[in-house]
Every structure is written in C-alpha cells, then in structure tokens.
Structure 1
C-alpha cells in the first residue's frame, strides 16, 4: 500500500474511542523512524493548498521578551487537523507542543512534546528536498553545525542517499568531535571533524548548514566556497535577525527551492531578507518544494548544477511528522493513553 493510502485510512494514528495518546520528548525520539518520516512529509507536501490542505499564515505574538507562535493546518489526506505551538525566548529556551485531532470526529487523538519532533521533521523535509535536488550519486556530506538539527538533517540525508563519508565543523572543537563520534556510531559511516567551515564544504556532494549563530551573528557559509554540483541545505535562519548563509550562496545557485511561499520565507529569514533587499524579483520567483514535487518547476538539470534548499518550517511538516510518530508509537506500545482531553459539546 502506498504511503498516501496508509495516511488516508489511518485517521492520523487514530486512538481508541475516547482516548488521547500523550508522548513525551523521549517517547517521540523512540518512536521516530527517519526514513518513514521523510516519506510521510513528502506525501503531505505533495498537496497544493485546496481540498486536501488548508494552512493559513502562522501567528506570531510577543510580549515582554517572550514570543508565541501558533501554526495550524488541516491535512485531509492524513485525516487530521491540528496545530503546533511554541513559546519562550532564545535566552530562556523554547517549549514546543503539537496537538492532533481526527477530522471526522473532532477527537483529540494525540498530544506530543514537539522539541525533538521539530528537529526531526526539519531534517526529514531537508531529506526529501535532497532526494529530488541532489545528484543521484551523492555520497559525501559536509555539515556546518554540531547540534540536534545538524544530527537530524544528516540522518535524513543519509536516509535518501548512500552516504559514505562526512566532514563536520563547529567553532567548538569538543562539540564537533563529539558529533563525529556520535553520528559515526549511529549511521555506521566515517565522520571526520575539521577545523574550518570551508574545509567542511570542500569536495562534498551535499552541504548541510544547521547553525545557531545568534541574533545578528556572522554567516556560516559563503557562496565563494561552493563548488559545481553541490546541493546546499540551510535551516538555521528562521527569524529576521538570524543569519546563516550569505546572498552569493543564493545567487551562485542554478536552482533555489523554499519549503514555504517566498513571501513567508522572506518575512522570517534574515538570509532571505538580505537577498530580497538586493533582488526582490528573484526572491519572489523562488518555487516551493510542493511545486517541485508536483513537477511544476524544474529542479536539478545538470550534474554540475548548484542547488539550494532553504527551510523555515511549516505546520504541514509538523502534522505529517507527528502522524508518522504516533503510528509507530502505537505499534510499539509507547506513550500513555488517557481519557479524551476535550469532551464533545453539542448544540
């Protein structure tokens, strides 16, 4: 059975009548299968807005140093409606939550801690973009960054290509060395720490940039380092003040793809804002991964093309990833079933 058929009949990982599945961050981690999540998100993002998908712009609120973001969506193919919410600050930390509801009954089927889920679905989305944009023979990866998002993005790339070796750079030597040891064991491939970001990029087929340079921080990847044939994944600049890649990284590319509409990405990513200031028409013309999946725009045309995938995240990714996690959690009997958290009120 095809994945979209599985999703359409599963009811989004439907719970037994009258119950809600609760999953902690650790339980989400144990229930996450990256290859399955890549497939689930690809199926979800293949739907253009319309009968199968409704996703309004996310709501961003802020008061006294605390931000609050709400990202709702309805995905008919997966049989769910729901939302992701996150709140906090970069100084104190951020909390993430996903709520899934069954479309037919309205029952709250699942409530998930979405801290790891957010990193996993970010990686999975980059994985599906890599599946469609990187060279088929891509076998090496350069990683700039050594945190959780770098881990999940590397794991997703390894799920869609036969990766043989990896180079990783982080400004802190202990972090990059620990990352190399950890991911070599997890993926059973060679992972080598290097001393500079440029060294992590040189001669690599895929380059993953997953950094936290901080508000107003320096870029981590420069377009002048990019080599013919490379596929670039960038996921770190998700607010106007955050920078990760420079404008020449975009202008050097033969194809650039976003995971959300160009106006949404440009309003939230400092990297894309900088590009838009120089060439607003070019930014407005960047297609989404949905258009790529639906063959409405070309991707890689030649082996020596440079391709760039820029991601800020979207509720469809969160819901599709949550459905995949909940399906596996129930199969593995992971999590806690409680009486439905929201009773039905009739009129």
Structure 2
C-alpha cells in the first residue's frame, strides 16, 4: 500500500465542487449528531513573523463513510509582499481510521479554499432566498474564487459584484469569471445589496454596515479567523439571524468574537449552528426571515470531508505521486 501525494493541481482537478459541498454538509451533520471528534484548533503564535500555525485534527463518520485527518496550516499576512508566498498554506494528512495508514498527503492550501467555499455554499443553500441570482463579494483575494465556484453550485448566480480596495484584484477576478458570469466592480454597499454576499477580508474594523445590505441578503462572513478580526458592524449582527459553525471557535476567533467578548452580543443573539440546519432540527430561511449571517471559522471536519472527496476521485483517476511512506519490508 502506498501513500498518494496530491499537489494543488491534483486537488483542483479532483475536488468536484458539488461533491465537496455535499460532503461538507454531511460533516456538519455528523458533528451535530455526535458522530465526529474534533479537538479544539490549537495555535502557535509567531508575532515576530506576523503569523501563526494552526493544528486541526478530526475524525467523522457520516454513516456511509468515515475518515480522519490532520491539517497543519499557517496564516502569514506578509508572505505575498515579502516572500512571494501565499498568506495561507497548509498540508493535509489523510488517514485510514481503521489502520491509521496515511492514505494521502494533500496540498492543504487549495483544499482549504475548496472546503471554505463549500461551507459558504451549505449555509447559502439553507439561508439564502431560493431564487438568488446575484452574489456580492467583498475582498477579491484567493478565497473569493471558490466562494463563487461553490455558491453558484447551489444557486443560479448570474450577476457578481466585487468590491476590493485593490482594483487589480478585481480585474483578475473579472478575467477569470467574466465569460461565465456578469461580473462588475462595485462598492461595498453595492456588493451588500446582492441576494448573497460573501465577505473575505482580514479587517479588524468593520466595513459592512446594516444600511449596506438588502432586506433579505444572506451574508457569508468568512474573513474573521482570529481574535480581533471583525468585518460586519455590531448593528448589522444584532439585526441579523446568526448561524455559526462552532460556538467555541466563533466566540474566540469568528466574526462575532469582538462583540461577544465585549458583551454587546450574547448567546441569545445566536440563532443556530450550521449542523442544526444540516440535520433539520432547526429551520433555515422562512418567509419572515430578514438578513442572515453565517459566521464561518473553518472546521477540521470540513478539511477531512473535502480530503475524502479529493482522495477518492484521485484514486479513481490514478492521479498524484505514490510514495512508500511506511517502507515495509518482506
């Protein structure tokens, strides 16, 4: 038995988005049912390098398949300018739960983007209006691409409004998707008025206010992944129906972390966890629902679910490089 090494191109080729979205929703459901084990994300802060490492292990059993893995990931905001490297990089070790054999070593950077987009799509499918055709994106970095890729798999998106302080990022986004969607640059408010809006920025001062969004806009708040980060104003959060991915992570480092730590927002203001929507114990959007917010911090179960899809498809396609990691003899 060999371990398969899958690089970013292998992940991109084999992470079929509809399948990843479905697997991530199954992971949320397994976690809600108690059929997943996910220790808290651990951090190694490196202030001298303006970065950190994060360790994310998990096991899940969907009833149809089970899987285990560990993602070792970083966030170094200075990388693009200072080192010509991505801000976020990661490595995923995907293992056989029965034997612990390392089935695959997978590029975690591309995997993270795919599963992050998939999580937003799961939330969008439960919380956005059924006929949503417009998507606003605030922040045109690498995460924005899989937001459109994934959300368009669950809603018939036609118009995309992109807002970014760097117009060159918007131009690159337009060049990538301009033939498939009606993509245009717009303000934060124009992006927020769309049926669905994904915010994917690293800001610590909120940039999206209540008056910037429509009466029934669904917002995927994806940018906050560390204490102090905060994309949406308190007024917007207090008005919205809030769904989170995990209470501990969201209150520590998600979109709600700042108002929660200050006591402005409490548990009473949190409507549900995404797993409750996935298993059907809590309703998503109803006719009375106004603005909704999905606070996504990114869970290790999402990485394992996405890795499952990538590994299974890669084996079918005989993709990647085989390694004799264990080196058994005889």
Query: TM-score, with normalisation over the residues of structure 2?
Result: 0.89
Separation of aligned partners in 1, 2:291 and 2:314: 38
* Structure 2 residue 129 is matched with structure 1 residue 135: yes
CA distance in 2, matches of 1:297, 1:51: 16
Matched, 1:331 2:283: no
Corresponding residue SS for 1:47:
helix
1:76-155 to 2 correspondences below 5 Å: 76-77=61-62, 78-87=65-74, 89-92=76-79, 93-155=87-149
Aligned-pair CA distance for 1:271: 4.3
Aligned to 2:280: 295
**1:22-60 deviation digits (Å, cap 9, x = unpaired):** 011222112221111101111111113566211111111
CA distance in 2, matches of 1:161, 1:284: 27
Post-superposition Cα deviations, 1:54-111, rounded to whole Å, max 9, x if no partner, equal 1111111235445221111111333222211113632234430111111122211011
The CA distance in 2 between the partners of 1:143 and 1:88, in whole Å, is 21
Query: Which residue of the partner structure matches residue 211 of structure 1?
Result: 201
Cα pair distance change 1:197/1:224, threshold 3 Å? same
Give the paired residue count: 318
Match among 257, 261, 269 for residue 243 of structure 2? 257
Match of 2:83 in 1: none
Q: Given the superposition, is the C-alpha separation of residues 68 and 283 from structure 1 closer, same or farther in structure 2, using an over 3 Å criterion?
A: farther
Query: Matched residues in 2 for 1:228 and 1:62: separation?
Result: 39
Which of the residues 18, 39, 58 maps onto 1:35?
Answer: 18
Matched, 1:237 2:231: no
Q: Which runs of 5+ in 2 are unaligned?
A: 80-86
Aligned-residue Cα RMSD (Å) equals: 2.2
Summarize deviations over 1:257-279 as a string: whole Å, max 9, x none: 0111x232111136432244143
Whole-angstrom distance in 2 between the partners of 1:338 and 1:175: 38
* Uncovered stretches (5+) of structure 1, i.e. residues with no partner: 1-17
Distance 2:68 2:171 in 1: 41
Q: Is this contact kept in 2: 1:275–1:283, CA < 8 A?
A: no
Q: Distance in 1 between matches of 2:208 and 2:114?
A: 22
Residue equivalent to 2:210: 223
Cα deviation, residue 182, structure 1: 1.1
Q: Aligned-pair distance for 1:184?
A: 2.4
**How do 1:68-79 and structure 2 match up within 5 A?**
68-77=53-62, 78-79=65-66
Which contiguous aligned blocks of 4+ residues in structure 1 show a shift greater than 6 angstroms? none
Distance 1:158 1:108 in 2: 33
* Counterpart position of 1:248: 235
CA contact (8 A) 1:21 1:335 kept: yes
Query: Which among 191, 201, 222 is matched to residue 192 of structure 2?
Result: 201
User: Please, what TM-score do these two structures have when normalized by structure 1?
Assistant: 0.85
1:171 pairs with 2:141: no
CA change 1:231–1:55 in 2 (3 A) is same
Q: Give the CA deviation at 1:343.
A: 6.1
Q: 1:60 touches 1:69 (CA, 8 Å); kept in 2?
A: yes
> 1:178: Cα distance to partner?
2.1
TM-superposition CA deviations, 1:221-260 (whole Å, max 9, x none): 112212211111110011113222221221121x210111
Q: Hey, what does 1:189 align to over in structure 2?
A: 181
Q: Is the 8 A contact 1:224 1:248 kept in 2?
A: no
| Distance in 1 (alpha carbons) for counterparts of 2:211 and 2:262 | 20
Contact kept, 8 Å, 1:211 with 1:244, in 2: the verdict is yes
**How has the CA–CA distance of structure 1 residues 324 and 206 changed in structure 2, closer, same or farther, with 3 Å as cutoff?**
same
Cα–Cα, structure 1 residues 303 and 176, in superposed 2: closer, same or farther, change >3 Å?
farther
Counterpart Cα distance in 2 of 1:144 and 1:303: 26
Please give the alpha-carbon distance, in whole angstroms, between the structure 2 residues aligned to 1:193 and 1:179.
10
